């Protein structure tokens, strides 16, 4: 197991049916928990409406889940964001197999992904706390026929407790290496951006990665892409997944919501997000990334997709490179719309 760094190479309010309103409300908690309320007059400006229209066009009918990023500047009438407590209390869905080497072992609120290699398992994120790590991740892996003792590495996509909270249980039980970006290790050691009493404590610094690092375990390589904004050390991950005889290139986005609106560095962070989505969108085209997943299933709709697996149907996680780029465009345009409002 090692890592190396390679050489450089107008949307307006509409009628919303109650079920859709509830769905949007659940999703919007990610944004609303720390969002900066939008000035209604600014939100109706031509520039904001232009970016929101571009986001809607890119979303089409298949990527509407990413449009919830626009809720900061164009809230859905009647939507009440569910609190983190309500979201965390939702029953966990069954674990599931997305690909021959990639398994979902998360909740309806936050994801954990098990990437199986020839020399053990890479776990991507550790959920909220030890209880979830034991009863959702560990138990879910066993239910899928995976051995949690094979976890050799836990990658923490960013330094918020809903992604590192269960590391303590996993570290004590299985002694994996813990991976995070250098920036977010520092943040977790010095001043947490968010904290809750039901989140586990930040892990002790272990493996630090940078933009361009490559994590290797057995036959599997995971490319690390720094995608700052959600935190300044958020990392996204690119790796191959197998579906029978076919190999696909997956991109896991490490931090989606604009939940930094009350922070003094919000404009710097939002610009970093804007730049990052544009940069990775280009990379997705070059590398043919045709699978786009998230660490929150409200974005990639992982739970729904797992329910549609099997019976000879096409794998719903394979959305195509063009759709991956469109999803990044939705995120990019929603960020640009938010910038127009925030910069005042």
Q: Which residues contact 69 (CB under 8 A, 6 or more apart)?
A: 31, 55, 256, 257, 258, 330, 331, 334, 335, 338
Q: Return phi, psi of residue 39, to 5°.
A: -75, 120
pLDDT (tens digit, 0 to 9) for every residue of the chain, 344 residues total?
A: 444 443 333 332 223 333 333 333 333 444 445 556 667 777 889 999 999 999 999 999 999 999 999 988 888 776 676 777 787 888 999 999 999 999 999 999 999 999 999 999 999 999 999 999 999 999 999 999 999 999 999 999 999 999 999 999 999 999 999 999 999 999 999 999 999 999 999 999 999 999 999 999 999 999 999 999 999 999 999 999 999 999 999 999 999 999 999 999 999 999 999 999 999 999 999 999 999 999 999 999 999 999 999 878 999 999 999 999 999 999 999 999 999 999 97
pTM of this structure: 0.90
Q: What is the pLDDT of residue 43?
A: 81
**Cα–Cα distance, 328 to 35 (Å, whole number):** 21
Q: Give the pairing of strands 246-253 and 235-243.
A: antiparallel
78-342 — its CATH code?
3.60.15.10
Q: Is 157 exposed, middle or buried (0-12, 13-18, 19+ CB in 10 A)?
A: buried
In angstroms, the CA 123 to CA 166 distance is 11
Token pair listed for 143: 């239910």
Cα separation, 157 vs 174, whole angstroms: 20
Quote the strand ranges of 185-310, DSSP E. Answer: 207-209, 214-217, 220-226, 235-243, 246-253, 289-294
Q: What is the DSSP string of 239-274?
A: EEEEETTEEEEEEEES----TTTTSTTHHHHHHHHH
Would you mind telling me the total number of residues written for the chain in this entry? 344
- Taking the C-alpha atoms of residue 38 and residue 191, their distance in angstroms, rounded to an integer, is 27
Whether 189 contacts 156, CB under 8 Å: no
User: What are the extents of the domains in the chain?
Assistant: 78-342
Collapsed DSSP state (helix, strand, coil) of residue 333: helix
Which residues neighbour 279 within 8 Å (Cβ) at sequence distance 6 or greater?
none
pLDDT of residue 35: 58
Single out the residue of 217, 215, 258 nearest to residue 234, CA to CA.
258
Identify any residues that bridge with 240 across adjacent strands, giving them in sequence order. Answer: 249
Q: To which H or E segment does residue 167 belong?
A: helix 167-174
pLDDT, position 40: 72
DSSP 26-81: HHHHHHHTTPPPPPHHHHTSHHHHHHHHHHHHHHTTT-GGGGGGGGGTSPPTT--P
The CA R_g of the chain, rounded to the nearest whole Å, is: 19
In DSSP terms, 249 is beta-bridged to 240, 289
C-beta neighbour count of 40 within 10 angstroms: 11
Q: Would you state the structure tokens that stand for residue 108, as one six-digit string? A: 């309806």
**What distance in Å separates the CA atoms of residue 237 and residue 157, rounded to the nearest whole number?**
8
State how far the Cα of 162 lies from the Cα of 167, in Å rounded to an integer: 10
């Amino acid at each position: 197991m090692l890592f190396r760094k390679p050489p450089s190479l107008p949307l307006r309010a509409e009628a919303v049916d109650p079920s859709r309103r509830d769905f949007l409300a659940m999703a919007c908690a990610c944004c609303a928990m720390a969002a900066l309320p939008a000035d209604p007059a600014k939100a109706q400006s031509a520039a904001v409406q232009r970016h929101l229209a571009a986001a809607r066009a890119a979303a089409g009918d298949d990527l509407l889940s990413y449009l919830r990023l626009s809720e900061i500047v164009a809230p859905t009438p009647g939507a009440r964001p569910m609190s983190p407590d309500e979201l965390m209390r939702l029953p966990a869905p069954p674990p599931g197999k997305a690909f021959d080497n990639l398994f979902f072992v998360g909740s309806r609120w936050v994801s954990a992904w098990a990437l199986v290699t020839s020399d053990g398992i890479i776990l991507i994120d550790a959920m909220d706390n030890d209880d979830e790590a034991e009863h959702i991740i560990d138990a879910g892996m066993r239910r899928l026929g995976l051995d949690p003792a094979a976890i050799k590495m836990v990658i923490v996509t960013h330094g918020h407790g809903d992604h590192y909270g269960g590391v303590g249980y996993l570290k004590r039980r299985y002694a994996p290496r813990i991976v995070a970006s250098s920036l977010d290790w520092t943040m977790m050691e010095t001043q947490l951006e968010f904290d809750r009493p039901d989140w586990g404590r930040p892990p002790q610094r272990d493996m630090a990665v940078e933009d361009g690092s490559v994590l290797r375990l057995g036959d599997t390589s995971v490319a690390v892409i720094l995608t700052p904004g959600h935190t300044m050390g958020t990392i996204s991950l690119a790796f191959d997944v197998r579906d029978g005889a076919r190999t696909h290139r997956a991109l896991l986005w490490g931090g989606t919501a604009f939940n930094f609106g009350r922070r003094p560095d919000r404009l710097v962070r939002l610009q970093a997000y804007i730049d990052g989505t544009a940069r990775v969108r280009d990379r997705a085209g070059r590398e043919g990334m045709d699978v786009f997943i998230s660490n929150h299933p409200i974005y990639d709709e992982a739970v729904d997709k797992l329910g549609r697996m099997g019976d000879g149907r096409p794998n719903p996680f394979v959305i195509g490179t063009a759709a991956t780029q469109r999803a990044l465009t939705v995120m990019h345009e929603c960020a640009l719309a938010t910038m127009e409002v925030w910069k005042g």
